[in-house]
Structure 1
Amino acid sequence: MKRGRILNAELNHAIASMGHGDLMIVCDAGFPIPDTTWRVDLAIEKDLPDLGQILSLIASDFVAEKVGYADNLPTNNPVLLDKVKTLFPDADHEMTTHANILGAMAAQAKVIVRTGAFDPWGNILLWSGVDVPKWFDKPGVIAPPEYARKLKA
């Protein structure tokens, strides 16, 4: 059997298919997923699985270079924002409008993972990154400034 925590074959495949800069959206149960986007549907019933469970599993097996969320999340769902910041502390964080997440970002996503979450503004953008210490560990390789700061951390 696989050693990692994620047992779902399609979610494992989605994570393994992500390249540097690719976008994964982990969304709530009500997210309007475009028909043309790869959908990993994990929703079973209200809050099963919940967004925190799935984000925790993904965080254990995925390098997120940048994390995004709706600009009203800090005000309207600060508990979820705290979870996201705790799970992805090394990632850059940015906010955008909820409408942008539902439209342009959904259209750009390589994969959208649907949870059973009934979480207002529970749509989290995860851009795939690299494991900086492992990527820049060869003798003579110099990390660019945006990665050099992560090497020092």
Structure 2
Amino acid sequence: MKKNGILNSEISKVLADLGHTDQIIIGDCGLPIPQGVKKIDLALEIGEPKFIDVLNVVLKEMQIEKYFLANEVKEKNKGQLEEIEKSMGKTELEWLSHEELKQQSQRVKAIIRTGEATPYSNIILQSGVIF
């Protein structure tokens, strides 16, 4: 049994398998999952687990060089945006439309589904390198 870090075996495996520029998504419970993309479903009930809680745990173990958010979060979910920016610090941010985010979701290694039920609580995390 792992002593610390992410205990979810699917998330731990996905993170260990990532290479430079590979991407994953942490999403709300409404984000559609494209056919053929690995879904790691953490949703227990509406609101649990929270998107930001899952993001903060993943950030402890994943080297991230860039992240992507949908422009719509700026107007539709300002509180979530503030939490994301606080968690991500000075990491490079690239904006796209929600439709573009959904298109990009077809090329990610995995989507981690949370119980979050607030609009546009989705993030694409792009893997960096540790050297």
**Same fold at TM > 0.5:** yes
1:42 aligned residue: 42
The higher radius of gyration belongs to: 1
- Which segments of 5 or more consecutive residues in structure 1 lack a partner in the other structure? 136-153
Give the TM-score normalised by structure 2. 0.94
Corresponding residue for 2:27? Answer: 27
Fraction of identical pairs, as percent: 31
Change (3 A) 1:92 1:39: same
Q: Name the aligned partner's letter for residue 111 of structure 1.
A: A
Maintained 8 Å contact 1:4/1:61:
no
Contact residue 24 and residue 110 of structure 1 kept, 8 A: yes
What are structure 2's unaligned runs of at least 5 residues?
A: none
Aligned residues: 131
- AA partner of residue 57 (structure 2): L
Give the SS at the match of 1:53. helix
Report the RMSD for the aligned CA atoms in angstroms.
Answer: 1.2
Deviating beyond 3 angstroms after TM superposition, the runs of 4 or more aligned structure 1 residues are none
Aligned residue in 2 for 1:123: 122
- TM normalised by structure 1 equals 0.81
- Name the residue aligned to 2:84: 84
Higher relative contact order (CA 8 A, sep 6+): 2
Task: Specify the alignment match of 2:5 in structure 1.
Answer: 5
Q: Structure 1: how far apart are the matches of 2:31 and 2:107?
A: 15
